[in-house]
Chains A and B, each alone.
Chain A
Amino acid sequence: DSGVTQTPKHLITATGQRVTLRCSPRSGDLSVYWYQQSLDQGLQFLIQYYNGEERAKGNILERFSAQQFPDLHSELNLSSLELGDSALYFCASSVEPVRGIYNEQFFGPGTRLTVL
């Protein structure tokens, strides 16, 4: 158990809909990362938040957005869903990073999103 929790575990929805995925980082971790994993693309970095602020942005679509709240939990919002958005979505957290110094990430169990 990494200490990172994600809800829900599974989500089935239809094209065009909007969903919210939730992540609670390990106690004491200020950074949260979101990833998308599909069979053909592998693990894709979407976005990182540090203590409520966006720190780095990866291959995140404009239909997707995220935020980190004062209690440090994070939410990933996916809208206008398409079939191709079906994937595993992982959240990870790490201790307070100092720019230039990297700390290991602890991954949650993931949310499996199926868009029908």
Chain B
Amino acid sequence: SQKIEQNSEALNIQEGKTATLTCNYTNYSPAYLQWYRQDPGRGPVFLLLIRENEKEKRKERLKVTFDTTLKQSLFHITASQPADSATYLCALLNRDDKIIFGKGTRLHILP
């Protein structure tokens, strides 16, 4: 069956350290993979997009990797800050134009 999985448990990281979130998928052939941030009661906010032929993408303190062999994307926040605390969603765009979101990982940056 098709699945997209993110750590369901919350991730607690000390301020200043690097937070790494994982997104794994099964039986999809995504053309793109994206990461979004969502704060409670608000809509997701786009962070980064990576294409299937790209290994890594960076934007300021954010880095995304995409391994189509492992069927996995890693999302890194370096020099993490309490303001980075939120739920992070990964989403893939499948070749049939359907968009599938993971359930998200809650990240807590501890001061």
| Interfacial residues of chain B within 76-107, with CB under 8 A of chain A in the complex | 89, 91, 93, 96-104
Interface size on B, residues (CB 8 A): 22
Task: Judge whether A58 and B99 touch: CB under 8 Å.
Answer: yes
Given the known interface contacts A42-B103, A58-B99, the answer about A102 and B43 at a Cβ–Cβ threshold of 8 Å is no
From known contacts A43-B89, A90-B43, A109-B43, infer whether A104 and B34 are also in contact, taking CB-CB under 8 Å: yes
The minimal Cβ–Cβ distance linking B30 to chain A, given in whole angstroms, is 10
**Closest residue to A105 on the B side, CB-wise?**
B46
Most chain A beta-carbon neighbours within 10 Å: one of B43, B46, B98, B104: B43
Q: Are A107 and B49 in contact (CB under 8 A)?
A: no
Counting chain B CB atoms within 10 Å of each CB, the highest count among A58, A99, A108 belongs to A58
B96 and A106 contact, CB distance less than 8 A: no
User: Is A102 a contact partner of B96 (Cβ separation < 8 A)?
Assistant: no
Residue A77 CB within 8 A of the other chain? no
Within 8 A of A (CB), among B25-50: 31-32, 34, 41-46, 49
CB of A2 within 8 A of CB of B43, answer: yes
Q: Which residues of A contact B (CB under 8 A)?
A: 2, 4, 33, 35, 41-45, 48, 55-58, 90, 92, 99-100, 102, 104-110
List chain B positions with a Cβ less than 8 A from chain A. Answer: 31-32, 34, 41-46, 49, 89, 91, 93, 96-104
Could you list some 12 contacts between A and B, CB below 8 A?
A2-B45, A4-B43, A42-B104, A43-B89, A43-B103, A45-B101, A55-B97, A57-B98, A102-B49, A104-B34, A104-B46, A108-B43
